[in-house]
Structure 1
Amino acid sequence: MKSQSSTLLAEVRSFRQNHPDVRYVDLIALDIPGHFYGKRYPVEMLEKVAAGSPLKLPQNAVLLGAQGGLFKIGDYCFNDGDPDANRRLVPGTLKPVNWESQPLGQMLITSDGTEAPIEFEPREVLAKVLERLQHQGIHPVVAFELEFYLFDKQLENGLPQFARDPLSGDADDQPNLHIERLSRFSDVLEDIAQTAKDQGIDITVITAEIGPGQFEINFGHCDDGLRAADWAALFCRSTRGVALKQGYRASFMAKPYLQFPGSGMHVHVSLYDAAGNNLLAAHQQQPLRHAVAGCLELLPHCMPIFSPNHNAFRRLGGTVNAATRASWGFEDRDACVRIPESDPRNLRIEHRLASADANPYLVLAAILVGLEHGLEAKREPIAPLNEDRNSGTDFPVEMLDAVRAMQQQPVLRDKLGAEFVDVYCENKRQDHLAFQQEIHAREYRWFL
């Protein structure tokens, strides 16, 4: 603890020395729906926290719904007195923020690693999964890919408008994969990429996707699963901020246009032993097949994580590369679990089902639990799509069905934690019911 305090203190002092104009730092963490919550601390108070002073925030902040409200979940929120819970600073995450009008810093906080971690905090859920795998001698290497759309900064009657081509001034309303789009939007994309790098995120490839104003940015492969998920979470925050600064609106919404492709969160995962051997490649890749089988078995029960809201279910079975059934295949982007072509050292799965607005900590935790379950059960997977284009198993495509499928799944309750599963499912159920409590204009047009 003393060593960690001295490291944090050195980090804060170095930050203050390098950024003397920064007076405040946002201490932030991701809640269940994938939004950041936290507090804005004077930088001198942050130094005291780094030196060991308590850092407490309401425990129930993790339980906020998509619109920020609290739901009654068991004894939480309304019967527990809204207690505080300890958080800690995440070393290495104190960085400057360049998209605000005033100089500012930000730093991740978490309950994992404290004396009483919050069982349903997303980062703690992932931390427990990674710790268990490490005790088994399994070391994941992870890389996220995130798709997003750029829109015009101003909404029209609450609806998103196509981003305007900076050169022509016209709406970028043509779906394409042309490299010229990267050139036309180079200013905002370069700012997004550089800001991410300034946050410590390993940005690699930038791609113009098929949807108008749609892009994908890939991150480097990381041997620390928590850091990989941190990168994905922080990237979403910085990208939205930079886009607004540049006159756009960036969104990771799963399906903003019905007629164009949705935005996904693709996760590459390989597994290594302590000596650096790829566990999936051993014994003629038999562990790979077992891992795939485990992922596919649990996938229908993880849909509230992979598709965390009403809109995310609209993405499934969409126009391009969005699966309608739990499936796998070699070099097949129609599959939920794709096996990219690689040498044995880099053999991995690419999990393609999650929407871009899913919680990256929980998505990675669910994928790892699927892999772990498959390696333990040692079952053969169904036929890959390369052999049978009709191969696959059904998964729920509505939230309430998905919640029921998740809540009673024994493997998930064991490996993700029963308390987390119950809290998460009730949060999603109530969020979905709250979303339904509004009559839209179309309903009057059809039924009045």
Structure 2
Amino acid sequence: MDAVCSDLVAEVRGFRQRFPDVRYVDLISLDIPGHFYGKRYPIEMLEKVAAGSALKLPQNCVLLGTQGGLFNIGDYCFNDGDPDAPRRLVPGTLKIVDWEKQPLGQMLITSSGTEKPIVFEPREVLAQVLERLARKGIFPVVAFELEFYLFDRQLRDGLPQFARDPLTDDADDQPNMHIERLSRFAPVLDDMVETARAQGIDTTVITAELGPGQFEINFGHLDDGLRAADWAALFCRSTRGVALKHNYRASFMAKPYLQHPGSGMHVHVSLYDEAGNNLLAANDQQPLRHAVAGCLELLPHCMPIFAPNHNALRRLSGTVNVATRASWGFEDRDACLRVPESDARNLRIEHRLAGADANPYLVLAAILVGLEQGLEAGRQPIAPLNEDRSSGIDFPLEMLEAVHSMQHNAKLREGLGAEFVNVYCENKRQDHLAFMHDINAREYRWYL
């Protein structure tokens, strides 16, 4: 048994000692739309997998559409016999699930690091970008921030209802950032934070956001980009589970209300060399400007990643603190790329464009590719919003146009992998067409 297997076996045995009532463990991985898929394993079988027994799932699980169906994509799905692909356990991710009625465990799995990685698996795409950066002596430090809404657990005619204030039983229908809202919703928010910490997630600041029932929870900075994206993915899963336990429905939908702010995924990224020096701060912050220029240049071609569905594109409609063009600025929340005030050691870029329902592995991978190409090109960016409020680069706001722009961009195909770009774009194109293949009530009202 090699060292990795030995450590995994020790992790499983330690978990069983701490949680003797757990009989099953969910082995989970994120698909292209950002949903978890996987299998529920008896705990005894998990120990055998940890020791080296084969772990396989259908390769095409990664390609599922938003509603779980498969699309005809190139040589995959209906043209390949639906083959299995090897997966491995991700060390350090075996954690308790305490929001279910019965005690349960969960653990991340991935094809990354196996003898045949799935090139379009989101975690593998990010892993490849991080490995390439490491070979160049570039080491990111990353922190995610996620906004979400709380709704009443029961929908009404299919529509979400405002969350009920647990103290007054009134609807939390007044958009504001008052600190009292944190106190009123403390039972569910505290449970979300403690549950996330039980998953190993370093949760930090909690904010009551502008929307009714809207909150934001931040995570600590990590020098492991894969783990940072793991945290974001796992937080969404645990937060939904905890909300249901408290008779709420938590949603990371990007734009649940037209009249209220949408929910975003903000990503803070700084870049260091092997000695721990901040690359962005060198040479009077010229690398910062080069990185910004590269990110802005690539951003219009990454829109299917940052806004992965029809609703996510609605969020980019000119509401407060949401950019409608690719822009940047110092301490400016209207910019796509915000440079927060900090010392040279902590100089970083905050990427603010992605919706909260975007795939965190792919969002981070796309950001890093933009920064990487900007550092290599060494070009100056457009004027920051601090100097010119009209500064910006247009990006597509319609899915089919965005998909076309992404699929044919040579730099993105090089940075993320041509096969991934082809598969992802076709998945998004067909998902969008499936969504539009419906006649809703408004269409009848207008045209019947």
TM-score range, shorter chain: over 0.9
Task: Name the structure 1 match of 2:207.
Answer: 207
Instruction: Report Cα offsets for 1:370-395 as digits up to 9, x if no partner.
Output: 00000011010000000000000100
Q: CA deviation at 1:199?
A: 0.1
% identity of equivalent residues: 82
For 1:44 and 1:353, the matched residues in 2 are separated by: 44
Instruction: Report Cα offsets for 1:328-349 as digits up to 9, x if no partner.
Output: 0000000000000000000000
Task: Name the structure 2 match of 1:99.
Answer: 99
Task: Name the structure 2 match of 1:285.
Answer: 285
Paired letter, 1:105:
G
Paired letter, 2:407:
Q
Task: Name the structure 2 match of 1:197.
Answer: 197
For 2:79 and 2:281, the matched residues in 1 are separated by: 51
Task: Name the structure 1 match of 2:175.
Answer: 175
Contact 1:262 1:318 in 2 (8 A): no
TM-score (norm 2): 1.00
For 2:314 and 2:321, the matched residues in 1 are separated by: 13
Paired letter, 1:343:
D
Q: CA deviation at 1:319?
A: 1.9
Instruction: Report Cα offsets for 1:297-317 as digits up to 9, x if no partner.
Output: 000000000000000000003
Gaps of at least 5 residues in structure 1 are none
Contact 1:261 1:318 in 2 (8 A): no
Task: Name the structure 1 match of 2:306.
Answer: 306
Task: Name the structure 2 match of 1:84.
Answer: 84
Task: Name the structure 2 match of 1:130.
Answer: 130
Task: Name the structure 1 match of 2:165.
Answer: 165
For 1:420 and 1:329, the matched residues in 2 are separated by: 31
Q: CA deviation at 1:129?
A: 0.1
Q: CA deviation at 1:209?
A: 0.1
Q: Does 1:378 align with 2:378?
A: yes
CA RMSD in angstroms comes to: 0.5
For 1:397 and 1:132, the matched residues in 2 are separated by: 31
Task: Name the structure 2 match of 1:409.
Answer: 409
For 1:387 and 1:68, the matched residues in 2 are separated by: 46
Paired letter, 1:390:
S
For 2:415 and 2:252, the matched residues in 1 are separated by: 28
Contact 1:326 1:394 in 2 (8 A): yes
Paired letter, 2:369:
V
Task: Name the structure 2 match of 1:432.
Answer: 432
Structure 1 residues 326-341: aligned runs within 5 Å = 326-341=326-341
For 2:294 and 2:115, the matched residues in 1 are separated by: 33
Secondary structure class of the residue paired with 2:167: coil
Paired letter, 2:49:
V
For 1:377 and 1:274, the matched residues in 2 are separated by: 21
Task: Name the structure 1 match of 2:246.
Answer: 246
Q: CA deviation at 1:75?
A: 1.0
Q: CA deviation at 1:320?
A: 1.1
Q: Does 1:51 align with 2:51?
A: yes
Instruction: Report Cα offsets for 1:321-369 as digits up to 9, x if no partner.
Output: 0100000000000000000000000000000000000000000000000
Contact 1:112 1:123 in 2 (8 A): yes
Paired letter, 1:339:
V
Q: Does 1:40 align with 2:44?
A: no
Across the two proteins, how many residue pairs are aligned to each other? Answer: 448
Contact 1:62 1:121 in 2 (8 A): yes
Instruction: Report Cα offsets for 1:146-186 as digits up to 9, x if no partner.
Output: 00000000000000000000010000000000000000000
Instruction: Report Cα offsets for 1:240-286 as digits up to 9, x if no partner.
Output: 00000011000000000000000000000000001000000000000
Q: Does 1:186 align with 2:189?
A: no
For 1:415 and 1:302, the matched residues in 2 are separated by: 12
For 1:245 and 1:399, the matched residues in 2 are separated by: 35
For 1:328 and 1:18, the matched residues in 2 are separated by: 48
Task: Name the structure 1 match of 2:63.
Answer: 63
Task: Name the structure 2 match of 1:3.
Answer: 3
For 1:25 and 1:367, the matched residues in 2 are separated by: 33
Structure 1 residues 336-415: aligned runs within 5 Å = 336-415=336-415
Task: Name the structure 2 match of 1:152.
Answer: 152
Paired letter, 2:332:
D
Task: Name the structure 1 match of 2:317.
Answer: 317
Secondary structure class of the residue paired with 1:333: coil
Secondary structure class of the residue paired with 2:79: coil
For 2:319 and 2:208, the matched residues in 1 are separated by: 17
For 1:165 and 1:19, the matched residues in 2 are separated by: 34
For 1:117 and 1:169, the matched residues in 2 are separated by: 50
Structure 1 residues 412-423: aligned runs within 5 Å = 412-423=412-423
Instruction: Report Cα offsets for 1:209-228 as digits up to 9, x if no partner.
Output: 00000000000000000000
Instruction: Report Cα offsets for 1:76-101 as digits up to 9, x if no partner.
Output: 00010000000000000000000000
Secondary structure class of the residue paired with 2:77: coil
Paired letter, 1:52:
G
Secondary structure class of the residue paired with 1:106: strand
Q: CA deviation at 1:318?
A: 3.5
For 1:254 and 1:79, the matched residues in 2 are separated by: 34
Task: Name the structure 2 match of 1:142.
Answer: 142
Instruction: Report Cα offsets for 1:119-143 as digits up to 9, x if no partner.
Output: 0000000000000000000000000
Gaps of at least 5 residues in structure 2 are none
Paired letter, 1:39:
K
Secondary structure class of the residue paired with 2:105: strand
TM-score (norm 1): 1.00
For 2:445 and 2:415, the matched residues in 1 are separated by: 47
For 2:165 and 2:363, the matched residues in 1 are separated by: 34
For 2:296 and 2:374, the matched residues in 1 are separated by: 9
Paired letter, 1:123:
R
- Runs of 4+ that moved beyond 4 A: none
